[in-house]
Amino acid sequence: MLPLLKQTSLTEAGFAPLGASQPIAYVSFNQPAAYIPASEIRYVHACQAQDGARLYVYSWLDAPGYLLTTQPRITSLSHIFAELDTDDPQELQTAVDAFFHQHGGAYSYPAIGCN
């Protein structure tokens, strides 16, 4: 479980947990395996970008910072959108805003606050 401050920052930025991390993510047909250490917790943003892109975040239990990605499993460096060295909520929100700006904005789901 993440520290409360990290959980709150991620929730306020629009993220929800993907579930407990597993040491090795299951392999889909024709996809390489991705190693996910048990010390990482993955989240997905509630909103989808206009171009269909999704935003995921990895958060570490024992270290500050976040890794924002475009895939739930990192199998290529091209999946990494941003790496933050701090738990600063403003920096996290700035990175989220930059992602949606780069991808044409958030797809409109007014019921969950995406617009």
- Give 64-115 pLDDT, tens digit per residue: 999 999 998 888 899 999 999 999 999 999 999 999 999 999 886 665 667 6
Contact 62, 40 (CB under 8 A): no
Average pLDDT taken over every residue of the chain = 81
How far apart, in whole angstroms, are the C-alpha atoms of residue 80 and residue 68?
6
> Is residue 24 very low, low, confident or very high in pLDDT (cuts 50, 70, 90)?
very low
> Is residue 39 very low, low, confident or very high in pLDDT (cuts 50, 70, 90)?
low
Q: Where are the domains of the chain?
A: 4-24+34-112
User: Pick from 67, 11, 14: which is nearest to 39 by CA?
Assistant: 67
pLDDT at residue 22 above 50?
Answer: no
Contact 114, 106 (CB under 8 A): yes
| pTM for this entry | 0.79
How far apart, in whole angstroms, are the C-alpha atoms of residue 4 and residue 102?
30
